[in-house]
Structure formats: structure tokens, C-alpha cells
Amino acid sequence: MLKTTVLWRIQLRAPGTLLAVGAAEEFMTVQDFFHRHYSPLVGESPTGHAIAILAGLVLMVIGTALVVSMVFLPAGVAIGVLGLLILGAGIFGHIMSPLTFADLMDAVVGLSGAAITLTFAIAIVAVVAGFGVTVFVSLFRWLIN
């Protein structure tokens, strides 16, 4: 009866939570971080990390080049943020081997949604900040006159 109770409890927990308590208590050194994130011995794909880091940097450069033009400003911000997110995934994410094209596209589509959402948030903050500066300057001019 005890074994079925224990198995029943394990099935209700989310995957990975059984090891999370033990892993959270130990101190992670730099060597542990590199081993867990980049070593092929634990199933990671160093090639996938390198590709993600390079693709993120290239997308950030393309986004920066597009931001210079006022016409491509929204697309440049979205592409730059997407590059930043892919760069972060390449540095901190777990990219497991073997790499498949479907997994790559799934990650890019998911990060694209996050990049577009962040672009809208950045646009809203820019409009609110511009409105605040305009009100402040107008109020200052009114007080001077």
C-alpha cells in the first residue's frame, strides 16, 4: 500500500520537481554551470549553443541597422529583441542533442511571440514617456509666461 501511495504522489508532481529541491541546496560553481549547460556528456549540444549565440548576435545587428530608418523602426525593434532573446537562450538555455529542425523552429516561433509582445510594451512605454515629457515642457513654458 505504501508503494502505490508514493508512486501516486510522484505522478502528481511536475517533471523535474523531485530533483529541484536537492539541486537548489547545493552551490553551483562556474565549472558546474559550464558542464550542465554546454557538455555533450549530459546531452547538451555545444553546436546548438554556438548557432543560437551567433544567430542572436546577427539578428541584433540587423535589428540595430533597421532601427536607423524610421520606416523600419518597429520591425527593427522586434528583430533586435528577438536576437536578444535567442542570444539569451543560447547562453543560458538547455539545447539538447540531437538538434532537429522542428525544435529549432518551435523555439524561434515562441521567442518571436515574446519579441513582438515586448515591442508593443516598448512602444507603449515610449508613447507614455513622450506624453509625460510634453506635458512637463508645456507646464514649464506656461509657468514661465
pLDDT of residue 10: 44
| Residue ranges of domains in the chain | 29-144
pLDDT of residue 4: 44
Percent of the chain with pLDDT over 90: 43
Contact 98, 57 (CB under 8 A): no
pLDDT of residue 1: 44
pLDDT of residue 31: 77
Q: Which residues of 85-124 are buried (b: 16+ CB within 10 A; e: fewer)?
A: bbbebbeebebeeeeeeeeeeebbeebbeebeebbeeeee
pLDDT of residue 47: 86
Record the cell numbers describing residue 120, joined without a space. Answer: 508593443
**β-bridge mates for residue 44, sequence order:** 96
State which residues of the chain have pLDDT below 50: 1-12
pLDDT of residue 139: 94
91: nearest Cα among 51, 32, 41:
51
pLDDT of residue 7: 44
